[in-house]
Structure 1
Amino acid sequence: MARVAGVSVPTVSRVLTGATRVSPERSARVQAAIESLGFRPNGAARALVGGRQPMLAVFAGNTTRFGYAATIQGIEEAARADGLMVVISVVETDDPAAVKQAVDLALSQPLSGAIVLEYDPPGVATLAAVPSWLPVVAVAAGGRSGSTVAHAYMDDFLGARRATQYLLELGHPTVHHVAIPSAGVESSRLLGWREALEVAGAAVPPVVQAGWDPMSGYDAGIRLLKDEHVTSVLCGNDELAMGLMRAAQDLAIRIPEDVSVIGFDDHPLGQLWSPALTTVRQDFVELGRRSFQLLKQARSGSESVLTSRIVPDLVVRQSSGAVSSSVRTHGAARVSGSLAP
């Protein structure tokens, strides 16, 4: 840039930082070179060099889903207590151009580090795109993150296995699974469910793939619950479970008398649902706090790969119960086709 502008490197630096006055003529030449070269100052690099590190970037594929929002809450609370501001970058796709744009925009700020929510394909792609010189921590599901990156994770493999074992202990011959979308590999929740069935010698039914939202769970429930051999279902998250339970209502299927349902995450509305939802509780706020503590250690220059694992709890409520001694007698009724509030 100095060569294009016809000035010295220190002059370019003074124009960019504004630390020292530069003549209008030289400043104009530097600005013209900036525009012709498409140069954009890297705020993160300047912050690391100059010691100004007041901001933390959080990359997330979504900020409205319960697990994402609660994790971000934990990060923000911990960062604020430590005197850092948080900037949130939503990366909705794993398209390389979109990911690069999001990362470059965040790097234009004076960052002290980044936390990537690696819950989905956009998160996986973003983690790979963050430069190695920036301290970074991944918040992963089931410890999926690569071994070279510090990561905090919820052991949802163990949570799914325990929930499946619980339903088998209640006398259900097998457990069906309505799965959330994966991040390129089978989710830890799906793997834990399958292992529990295989260890118990129970049949492993086909997985019902769904989205994240209640309507997706409703559609899955309409397809799945018409089979009278289905007596228990483990859902990939609570929203799916709520939608499936509404489908059961529309099909005149009783919960838990005819079908037991377990969700995942412990959404705040789960205990207010009717019947109250049995679920695998995951403390996402604590997960966010732990990821920030890992980032602090990474920023201090720790050479070891850091991890923090949280074990979820099974919260038993009214949506699960012992298997009925008789075959379900409540057949499929006409479906309304809508999900009422």
Structure 2
Amino acid sequence: MDPVRAPNIRDVARVAGVSYQTVSRVLNDSPSIRVETRQRVEAAIAELGYRPNPAARALVAGRSRTIGLLSASTAYYGPATAITSIEAAAREAGYRISITSPASSDYASVAASVEYLLGQGVEALVVVAPQVRVFEAVRALGLSVPVVTLESAAISDAPSSLSVDQVEGARVATRHLIELGHEEILHIAGPQDWIEAEARMQGYLRELDAHDLRTRAPILGDWSSAFGYYAGLELLRVRDFTAVFAGNDQMALGLQHACRDMGLDVPGDISIVGFDDIPEAAHFAPPLTTVRQNFPELGRRALSLLLAQLRGEARADHSMVPPELVLRASTAPPRR
């Protein structure tokens, strides 16, 4: 065998002393193969370091065992972590993931990305996106393969949609501050066109309304620590509030920085709650109270729902995944 060429199925057959069709049946777990033959083939595969060609196996089996993943944003913790969880669940189920991101969220870009994935022979599609218009574009395409949408908030009641309960997460965060005794609570929200930002804003407003507390117009941010910092510097000049619910942990980090620069204590002067529970949140100064999203569970449910559709079975669990409040040192009762 040429030392620069990767071993192929015929090399395995020659070393094992069988036909290449027999090697193929071993690779596809055919029950008709004798134990001794299977062992010889497996030994030859190990000796040569042979790796089956997924594309070739797909041609033979008529299945790619590949799931397409359309992601409109991988730069942020939430979408990136959801994708990682889906990949892990797919590997465990014996599937590969093919990922692509549209150039923008308009219909033409989304359609081109979906066509690319379908060209890879994907058996199903998962859509992870922060904007409603991406989901609308996918639905308008009328795809013939199973589709599961990870809608970061419940924007539809479709049986193929999954989400973490963003509204409830925001309500839990705001309720925690109210139960500590805070009555003047601000909200620094995410970008206006993001589904999560709108859902978390609604949760904040609903919880204040449920406790008959004064509502304030949320400050629209961009998810960045820099925005949290500069918004904090402006807000703290007046300081007519005692607590802040930040739409994500990065903006909460920037706000903590602003408090330090203004000579204020967290949580002594200002209590802060974030959202996401990024890995660094436990190491902020002080460690951040935040809302954790169960992305591993979201990934598991997404794959379970897709596989159920592929098998023609009744739909799997698509109820919203509950969030969890993680209590740390950035919140305390207000000073009187």
After TM superposition, the score normalised by the length of structure 2 is 0.77
Q: Name which of 287, 297, 305 aligns with 1:286.
A: 297
Contact 1:116 1:126 (8 Å CA) reproduced: no
Q: Which residue of 1 aligns with 2:163?
A: 153
- Which secondary structure does the structure 2 equivalent of 1:256 belong to? coil
- Hey, which of these two has a bigger chunk of helix by percent? 2
Q: Name which of 187, 196, 220 aligns with 2:231.
A: 220
Q: Which residue of 2 aligns with 1:163?
A: 173
Q: What is the distance in 2 between the residues matched to 1:169 and 1:320?
A: 11
Q: What is the distance in 1 between the residues matched to 2:73 and 2:120?
A: 21
Q: Which residue of 1 aligns with 2:281?
A: 270
1:112 Cα offset (Å): 1.0
Q: What is the distance in 1 between the residues matched to 2:77 and 2:158?
A: 28
Query: 1:218/1:124 Cα in 2 relative to 1: closer, same or farther (>3 Å)?
Result: farther
1:270 Cα offset (Å): 0.3
Contact 2:301 2:317 (8 Å CA) reproduced: no
The code of the aligned residue for 2:169 comes to G
Q: Deviations over 1:73-130 (max 9, x none)?
A: 1110111111111011123521222222211111111101011113335643553355
1:54 Cα offset (Å): 1.7
Q: Which residue of 1 aligns with 2:321?
A: 310
Q: Deviations over 1:37-89 (max 9, x none)?
A: xxxxxxxxxx89x7313211111122231111211111101111111110111
Whether 1:257 and 2:263 are equivalent positions in the alignment is: no
Q: Which residue of 2 aligns with 1:138?
A: 149
Q: Deviations over 1:307-336 (max 9, x none)?
A: 1321111111111111011xxxxxxxxxxx
The code of the aligned residue for 1:318 comes to A
Contact 1:61 1:122 (8 Å CA) reproduced: no
Q: What is the distance in 1 between the residues matched to 2:323 and 2:185?
A: 20
Q: Which residue of 1 aligns with 2:185?
A: 175
Q: Which residue of 1 aligns with 2:120?
A: 109
Q: Deviations over 1:116-149 (max 9, x none)?
A: 11333564355335533110101122322x3335
- Give the number of aligned pairs: 278
Query: 1:54/1:113 Cα in 2 relative to 1: closer, same or farther (>3 Å)?
Result: same
Q: Any residues of structure 2 matched to 1:1-341 within 5 Å, and which?
A: 51-121=62-132, 123-144=134-155, 146-183=156-193, 187-302=198-313, 307-325=318-336
- Which secondary structure does the structure 1 equivalent of 2:237 belong to? coil
Contact 2:148 2:162 (8 Å CA) reproduced: yes
After TM superposition, the score normalised by the length of structure 1 is 0.76
Q: RMSD of the alignment, in Å?
A: 2.3
Q: What is the distance in 1 between the residues matched to 2:154 and 2:206?
A: 17
Q: What is the distance in 2 between the residues matched to 1:227 and 1:287?
A: 41
Contact 1:283 1:312 (8 Å CA) reproduced: yes
Structure 1 alignment gaps of length 5 or more: 1-46, 326-341
Structure 2 alignment gaps of length 5 or more: 1-57
- Which secondary structure does the structure 1 equivalent of 2:319 belong to? strand
1:234 Cα offset (Å): 0.4
Q: What is the distance in 2 between the residues matched to 1:70 and 1:120?
A: 17
